[in-house]
Each structure stands twice: as structure tokens, then as C-alpha cells.
Amino acid sequence: MGGKVMNREAPSMKRDSTSKTLNLKRSGILALLCGIFWHHSSAEAIDFNREIRPILAGKCFACHGPDKEARKAGLRLDRREAVIEADALVPGKLMDSELHHRIHSTDPDEVMPPPETNQTLTPEEIDLLDQWIEAGAAYDRHWAFVSPQKTAVPSHGARWGENPIDAFLWQSMHKHGFEPSEPAPPHMLLRRLYLDLTGLPPAPEEVKAFVGESSQEAYVRIVDRLLASPAYGEKWGREWLDIARYADTNGYEKDRPRSMWPYRDWVIRSLNADMPFDQFTIEQLAGDMLPGATQDQRIATGFHRNTQLNEEGGIDPLEFRFYAAVDRVATTGTAWMGLTTGCAQCHTHKYDPITHEEYYGLMALLDNVEEPDLILESSSQAAQRKQIEAALETERVRLQEGTSGFESAFTAWLKEAQEAATQWTTLTPREMKTNLPKLEVLEDGSIFSSGDVTKRDVFTLQFENDTPITALRLEVLPDPRLPEQGPCRCYYEGRKGDFFLSEFQVFKGKEPMTITQPSHTYGKISIGGGSADANNVLDGDGSSGWSTAEQNGKEHHLVLPLKNPIPAKTHFTIEMLFERHFVVSLGRFRLSATSETGTPIAKAHGTRAEALLAAGKLDEPSALSYLKDVFLETDPRWKTQQQALEKIRNQLPRPDHSLVMMERPADNPRPTYLRHRGEYLSPRNLIEPGLPKVFRDPAFPEPKDR
């Protein structure tokens, strides 16, 4: 990512004998560069990875390798210490090494590999193994796990080549009797250049111009222009987006659309800006954790939000978030390690150095996240929103002053509303329990839910009251941290922000308290558009309940009068059941109580207006102004005026959003368990986050998070 491409095309090659040119161009060069035309001389050190490992892997490891179940005689040849410990190998001492005698034996019961395996060693392979033992039988880590070292650029006398890569190519060609082929014709070179850098062919007039000039300077100018064009990032971004399993829909069954395009655009911008690869990596894996993370850095974490999302009714959401974590480990291994981690999900990897436990340590690093929607309000949208909000306020004043009878109606309403107002006191729980989500009391007394959720969440809150309680009130509240501003935790497309309260129960000790005549400000179910009455939370049926669908980002409340008051100084419990075929529990809510007699009802004018009316402090201009606005927008007499306000409100810009990741709070980490045989339903011991040993560097502290 950091360096874009070489600014010239790597040449093809030809052999001195022109009759062999075609075959060598198609296959010989690849074999040559991969180093399989290897000739060993006694003067050269034996290369374990290049010469010895292939012999052992091809003819010995099936019986004496990583597979414990298939291993014969308890001998493991893929680890040096194991071979030495078994007395099969004495480094530097050929005649003391059992391995030497076994590969030279003519006894069919002793020779290795056994004749029946059809893996007989060739004389050249036997000789190479002997040389290796005499030289000390050194083992090397696979080259993929060894940090690359800078190699001196070969010197050569030819005048061919323009950069260090050409020098290495020339050295290998010269060694094997090859020479560079003739340069490609200008029109062919230009076409290759365009297709490589932008994925698009050049226009005929561009070809004609280049053929006419066909100079190195012209070539360089075209390279620079193509590298600077938006098409460069679009072409090469596509390659990365394939690795990132980019998709604009959720996968699985309904396959609803989702907003991932901001991540796609981030990839393209990063490539066109020539972002260094280390930064490209950091921002995608942990951009949200960088100090002062920018919006772009948070968008970059969408890399791991490209997992499939299952919205089917019968699923366990926790199971499918486990499979999403499996996908994240696999994709991280592929994209950054070039490694297949998948086998270690079920057992210790036989051929890659990753243990079963290390796999889940890597999962713990990647899975300790929340998955919010990042609101992307542009500066122009913010300016437009402020302008429209000002226009709304101006229109409210105009409608109030220009509507005949409004002032007298407001005065009468104010008197009636004050007389009917209920004084509510916020309840603060002394203890909170849930099946899984974490509940936190905020400064305003509301309760915020975070962490994992299920299709059946139960919130149990315990209180002790100072005064008698005759009724309870549940407010469902918006919050910018929640999908569609809340009040729900639901992230499913089409249901974002929706909750579903199945049952609301109150207990004095273990005795259930009877609730009578509950009321609500609004109730609707998103699926089918049916009503969601307040009485549904008392019927003992988990499939019915109260919801405020299609009112995302707005406050509503439920009032629950008690048949018999809860006496003062009583320990009582409120239990809320959220049960539906999708994730439905509340993200932010507040509980209040009153000691007043009578039967309070839910008020359309809302809880803030109710508090002002109950307090009776209406001499402040700001309080009266607010109540006038509430009266104008909630009283059914002013439908025409409300429609005028709604017309302006509909002009508010709807910001885009992008799916991102956010590290969970340190006091609420998500536990990761080793899963026996990789099965979600077979959790074993708790696993601490960490990198596989093969990637650890003693010079750096062991990471505990992304």
C-alpha cells in the first residue's frame, strides 16, 4: 500500500535457443523465480527450508509429523528437539544417528520410509540428508515466520535494468542461461500499463499519442498521471475489498441492505493518498482506539463489520456473533498473515504453528467490541440542520401569534394541565441484575444498557422507597450511542431502535403487586404495523407487549398505577421481560414513582412538561415558551399548524451512517471461551486475549486488546 507500483513493466525472458522460448515464457520463468531450479554444491551451506524440509514433509511426516493420532513409534521429525530426544539424530555425528542407518538400510523391516509407503528416498535425497546431519542438522523456522532481512543488490555488468528488482532478475536469468526478451511494442506496453493501474484500457487517441512519442519521459508522465487518478484507488481498492469480504447487504435469508459504502470509499481514498501500509493496517483493526480518533479512522474499522448478519427469527444471536468472530479471525489471518487459521478453531493446527488455545486468544483480541452505527453528518448537513431548526422556532412563534384563540386556549390548557399534573420522583436502583446486558445508572437517573443481548433479556432492579408508591412510570429515552438514536439496542435493519417490552412486574418481597389501568403515550409494533397497548405488558404472554416502533429517537412513556400502594421503607423489585424473535431490549430508560392518590395517566405533552407543570414554577419566560411549544405540537386542536411544522421538519437532512467497531469498556470485557472441537455449544475454559506465540516479539509487550 505504501509504495504503489514499479514504474516499468517487468520483462519476460527467453533462452538462447529460440525453439524453447514459448514454453519458458509461460512456465520456466515462474519456476525460476520460485527457486525450484536449485543446484546444491558442497561448497554451499544446506538450506533446511529449501532442501531438507520438502524431503521430510513429503516422505516422513505422514508417520512422524504433527498428527499425533497418525504418528508411529512416538517419533516426531518436524521438531529438532523431539528428534534429538528420541536419539534418532545426533547432530554432526552421522554414524551415531539412527536416522542415517534407517535410510541406508536394505532390510525391508528396518528401512525408512517403509517400502509399502511407495515413498522410497532417491540416492540424491539420502546423500543430502547425510550432508545435513554431518553439518549439524540445523532446523529453520518456515521462511514465512522469519522477519525479512535486506539483501545486498547483486552487481552485474549488463546495461539492462532500471531498478534493484531488475538486478535480482538478471542474476537469476544469467545463472540459468536466460536473457531478457525484447521490449514490448509501445501500444502493447501502454495497454498493459492502463490495465495494471486502472483496470481500464487507454482511449485510441491516447495510444496514438504515445506511439508517436514513445519516450521514457512520456512513459513516466503517464505512470504518474494514472497513479494520481481516482481510477487507481478504485481498481486496487477492489482487490482489497475482496479480501475484506465487502458487501452492501447482510447475507443470510432476508439479505437486507446495510450502509458499508463509507468504508469502501475510505479504502479508495487511502490507496489514492498512498497511505503507508502499517497505518492502513492499524486504522482498520483498531482505528477507534487511536488517541483522538478521527471520523475516517473510525470508519476504517468497518473492515470487520463486513461479516454476515443473520436476522432470521429462529436464531440465537449469541451463536451468530460467535460465527462472526470466527470470520474475523479467519479474515485477519488471510489478509495480514497469509495464513489459514481455520483449522485451529477445532484443534491445534497440524501444519501452521497455531494452537487451539492461541486461536481463541486471537479471537479474544478481535471480539471485545461493541458494534455501533457511526453517524456521518457532514459540515453542510450540520449547517442545514441548524438553519431548519431556526426556521422551526420562527414558525412556532408565528403560528402561536397568528392563530386566533391560541393564547386563551393555552391559558385554559395550562390551568387544567397543572391541576392534572403528577409529581414524579426518579427511582435509583440499589441493585441491578440481568441475564447478560450490563446496566449503568447515568447522571440524570436514567439507566443505560450495554454489552451483549439475547432474544430473551430480563432486567431485575431492586429498590427501597422513602415514601409510599401509588404508581410507577417507565420512560424510554433516545441516546446517540444507540441505533437510530434508540431507545432500543436492536441493530437489525428494518428494526433499528425498536424495543419490545413483553412483561412488566412489580414484587414486594416475593409477593406480586397488581397493576391497574396502565396507559402509554404511543404504541405500535414494527412488523405488520399493529398496535402495542399498555395492557399487553400485564397479560403474562411474552409474544404480546408494548413497543414504540417508527418513533425512533423520540421519548415516550408508560404509566403503571398500583392497585395497592407500596408502603414506605419497603424493599421492592421491578422485573422487565423483553422477549421476541429478534433482539428487543431497551438501551436507555428511566423509572419514576409517585405517592399521589388517584390514577395518573401517560401525558402526550411528555415528562419534561409534566415536571414543569407539577412544580408550578411557570414565571420563567423559558418555561412558558417551552410549554407553549408543547401545547402547539401536541394538542389535537392545532392539526393544521402541526402539519405546517412537520413540513419544515421533513426538510431536516438525514445523515448517513457507517457500521464501525468500538472497544468495550475495561470494566465490562466480553469473555472468550475455548470451544471444544470448535462448537459454539461446547464452551470450555476462559481464554485470555493474546497473539499466537509465533508472532510474539520479546522486544514488545504482549497486546491485550486490538
H or E element at residue 674: strand 672-675
pLDDT tens for each residue of 88-117: 999 999 999 999 999 999 999 999 999 999
H or E element at residue 575: strand 571-579
**pTM, 2 dp:** 0.83
Enter the C-alpha cell of residue 105.
538400510
Count CB atoms within 10 A of the CB of residue 383. Answer: 11
Asked if 506 and 474 count as a contact pair (C-beta separation under 8 A), the reply is no
16, pLDDT greater than 60: no
Residue percentage of the chain with pLDDT more than 90: 68
165, pLDDT greater than 50: yes
Q: What does the pLDDT read at residue 15?
A: 31
Q: CA 268 to CA 238: how far, in whole Å?
A: 8
pLDDT tens for each residue of 324-365: 999 999 999 999 988 889 899 999 887 778 999 999 999 999
233, pLDDT greater than 50: yes
Asked if 259 and 305 count as a contact pair (C-beta separation under 8 A), the reply is no
Question: 173, 148, 55: which is closest to 103 by C-alpha?
Answer: 55
Question: What's the average model confidence in pLDDT over 689-700?
Answer: 90
Q: CA 378 to CA 380: how far, in whole Å?
A: 5
585, pLDDT greater than 50: yes
Asked if 283 and 240 count as a contact pair (C-beta separation under 8 A), the reply is no
What single string gives the DSSP state of each residue in 181-221? PPPPPHHHHHHHHHHHHTSSPPPHHHHHHHHHH--HHHHHH
Q: Residue 110 corresponds to which amino acid?
A: E
Enter the C-alpha cell of residue 675.
470451544
366, pLDDT greater than 50: yes
Enter the C-alpha cell of residue 547.
413497543
Exposure of 601 by Cβ count < 10 A (0-12 exposed, 13-18 middle, 19+ buried)? middle
Q: What does the pLDDT read at residue 529?
A: 64
Q: What does the pLDDT read at residue 291?
A: 96
Q: Which residue has the higher pLDDT, 12 or 648?
A: 648
Question: What's the average model confidence in pLDDT over 43-56?
Answer: 85
Question: What's the average model confidence in pLDDT over 396-406?
Answer: 95
pLDDT tens for each residue of 424-457: 999 999 999 999 999 999 999 999 999 888 889 9
603, pLDDT greater than 80: yes
Asked if 343 and 699 count as a contact pair (C-beta separation under 8 A), the reply is no
Q: CA 144 to CA 132: how far, in whole Å?
A: 22
* Cα 149 to Cα 87, 146, 152, 154, 693, distances in angstroms: 34, 9, 10, 15, 21
Question: What's the average model confidence in pLDDT over 230-251?
Answer: 95
Say how many Å lie between the first and final Cα of the chain, rounded: 21
Q: What does the pLDDT read at residue 66?
A: 81
Count CB atoms within 10 A of the CB of residue 433. Answer: 13
Asked if 572 and 463 count as a contact pair (C-beta separation under 8 A), the reply is yes
Residue percentage of the chain with pLDDT more than 70: 92
Strands (E), 9-64: 13-15
* Cα 83 to Cα 80, 111, 129, 132, distances in angstroms: 5, 17, 14, 14
Q: CA 473 to CA 599: how far, in whole Å?
A: 12
Enter the C-alpha cell of residue 350.
497440524
Read off the pLDDT band of 179 (50, 70, 90). Answer: confident
Q: What does the pLDDT read at residue 493?
A: 63
Strands (E), 605-669: 656-659, 662-663
- Contacts within 8 Å (CB) and 24+ apart, 329-332: 329/359, 329/362, 329/363, 329/366, 331/243, 331/244, 331/245, 331/304, 332/285, 332/304, 332/362, 332/366
* Cα 30 to Cα 21, 23, 35, 167, 614, distances in angstroms: 14, 11, 9, 17, 84
Mean confidence (pLDDT) of the chain: 88
480, pLDDT greater than 70: yes
Asked if 399 and 641 count as a contact pair (C-beta separation under 8 A), the reply is yes
- Which phi and psi (to 5°) does residue 675 adopt? -105, 115
Strands (E), 364-468: 369-370, 373-376, 425-426, 431-434, 438-441, 447-450, 456-464
Counted residue by residue, the chain has a size of 706
Q: What does the pLDDT read at residue 497?
A: 79
Q: Which residue has the higher pLDDT, 292 or 527?
A: 292
Q: What is the CATH number of domain 423-599?
A: 2.60.120
- Sign for the CA dihedral angle at 382, 384, 388, 394 comes to positive
Read off the pLDDT band of 616 (50, 70, 90). Answer: confident
Residue 22 in 3-state DSSP?
helix
Residue 677, Cα to own-chain centre: how many angstroms? 24
Half-sphere exposure of 240 (CA within 13 A, CB side): 23
Q: What is the DSSP letter of 166?
A: H
Q: What does the pLDDT read at residue 157?
A: 65
Read off the pLDDT band of 158 (50, 70, 90). Answer: low
77, pLDDT greater than 60: yes
Q: What does the pLDDT read at residue 275?
A: 97
Q: Delimit the CATH 2.60.120 region(s) of the chain.
A: 423-599
12, pLDDT greater than 50: no
pLDDT tens for each residue of 513-571: 999 999 999 998 876 667 788 999 999 998 899 999 889 899 999 999 999 999 999 99
Q: What does the pLDDT read at residue 420?
A: 94
Question: 41, 675, 139, 47: which is closest to 361 by C-alpha?
Answer: 675
* Cα 500 to Cα 90, 357, 512, 550, distances in angstroms: 71, 39, 22, 13
Residue 102 in 3-state DSSP?
helix
233-237, 300-304, 526-530, range with the lowest pLDDT? 526-530
Question: 308, 325, 285, 288: which is closest to 492 by C-alpha?
Answer: 308
Question: What's the average model confidence in pLDDT over 575-588?
Answer: 88
The residues, any chain, with a CB within 8 Å of residue 21's CB and separated by 6 or more, are 14, 15, 181
Residue 323 in 3-state DSSP?
helix
- Which phi and psi (to 5°) does residue 461 adopt? -125, 130
Q: What does the pLDDT read at residue 10?
A: 34
149, pLDDT greater than 60: yes
Cα-based torsion angle of the residue sequence 97, 103, 105, 110 in order, rounded to the nearest 10 degrees: 90
Percentages helix, strand, coil for the chain (3-state, rounded to 5) are 40, 15, 45
CA-atom Rg of the chain in angstroms = 36
